[in-house]
Structure 1
Amino acid sequence: MYADITIKARCENHAEAESILSGLNAAYQGEDVQTDTYYETDYGKLKHRQGNIENVLIHYNRTPLEGAKRTEVLLYLKNPGAATVAAVCEGKSIIARLKKIRKIYFIDNVKFHLDQIKGLGDFIEIEAIDLEGSVGIEVLQQQCDYYKDLLQIHNEDLVTSAYTDLIHHS
């Protein structure tokens, strides 16, 4: 059972966050130029991400927690072919398209994103991931809280809205 806890925040200083991650020996995966296309769906979000590092088709639902979100993943396909994307998304309206530059880091099961989004600004995400269901939500939350403190993320900088919601309200 795939589960994750995600914290998203505005980040005024990506260089400082990168310095902290480097000091923690985070594994840098690279810089990804991504286009996320969101399709209408009756439940959660259906997203096709196209990037030079990450290419996924994902159907998920997020539930708010205190300063974080819990993700329930219904479909997760890495590197889907055009026929698969068409089979899942054909006939569905595109509700949003988002372009971003994302730097990706990992420490064990925790993924860090440093995002630059035109018109919205700079953000950081901490995503504690449990692919097999062996870590548990409580530990994932503890990991997010731990790295939130280390990265000096303040509660007033937390963002609980999706990027697509921020675009529609900016």
Structure 2
Amino acid sequence: MRNIEIKARITNYDNICKIAEELSGGPPTVIVQDDTFYRVNSGRLKMRFYADSSATLVRYDRDDEGGPKLSDYDLVQFPTAEKEKAKQLDEILRKCLGPRGRVIKERKLYMVGQTRVHIDSVQDLGQFMELEVVLRPEQTVDEGRAIARDLQTKLQVQDKDLIECAYVDLLDK
């Protein structure tokens, strides 16, 4: 699976939430996420636990660069009924790979067409906006970048506020 991402610090949380709600046509879905990142040789690997005890194992590759960037990713879902399996896998990955870091956040999710607009409050970091333009199989990277840039403009996010890396990398600094 592929998407085009933009991530940025935000300076006016209430304003960007208002614009995102207008663009999406409705209120957000609020999601609490607790991510453990593991030490890996390439890309990133994390186990994401949700408030309802469900979980998702996420593997992704994405260049650390400003502006819209391609992310290639794989997901393994663990519904609430399989929460013990997710916990067991998390323990195995911690033992084998070692934990790299932990990111806890409250995410407001707004859907705008094929784009997931996230307004995140990240523990120990602050507030951010992330766009994920989920590419359809026939779509090019350039098409996804154009959609992302258009939404960046509509959300009034300045290029100077863009960040190149993942939240876990910011916590490392």
Coarse TM-score class (shorter-chain normalised): 0.7 to 0.9
Match of 1:68 in 2: 68
Letter of the 1:110 partner, please give it.
T
Distance 1:120 1:134 in 2: 36
Distance 2:24 2:68 in 1: 24
CA RMSD of aligned residues (A): 2.1
- The DSSP-based 3-state class of the residue aligned with 1:91 is helix
Q: Which of 82, 85, 98 is matched with 1:83 structurally? A: 85
1:105 paired to 2:110: yes
Letter of the 1:144 partner, please give it.
A
Decide which structure has greater strand share.
Answer: 1
Distance 2:36 2:4 in 1: 22
Decide which structure has greater helix share.
Answer: 2
Letter of the 1:12 partner, please give it.
T
The alignment's TM-score, normalised by the length of structure 1, stands at 0.87
Compared CA separation, residues 25 and 105, structure 1 to 2 (3 A): closer
Instruction: Give the superposition deviation at 1:26.
Output: 4.1
1:129 paired to 2:131: no
CA-to-partner distance for each residue in 1:81-135, whole Å, 9 max, x for gaps?
A: 34356457252211111111111111121001111112211100011012x5222
Distance 2:168 2:50 in 1: 17
Instruction: Give the superposition deviation at 1:51.
Output: 1.5
How many residue pairs align between the two structures? Answer: 166
CA-to-partner distance for each residue in 1:25-82, whole Å, 9 max, x for gaps?
A: 3454521111000112222111111113773111111024551321111x31122634
Extract unaligned runs of 5+ from structure 2. none
Match of 2:153 in 1: 149
Stretch of structure 1 that moved more, 103-112 or 26-35: 26-35
1:161 paired to 2:160: no
Q: Which of 102, 115, 118 is matched with 2:120 structurally? A: 115
CA-to-partner distance for each residue in 1:126-151, whole Å, 9 max, x for gaps?
A: 11012x52222111101100000001
Letter of the 1:141 partner, please give it.
R
Distance 1:116 1:25 in 2: 19
Q: Is the 8 A contact 1:27 1:107 kept in 2?
A: no
Share of identical aligned residues, percent?
Answer: 26
Distance 1:26 1:63 in 2: 32
Compared CA separation, residues 27 and 42, structure 1 to 2 (3 A): farther
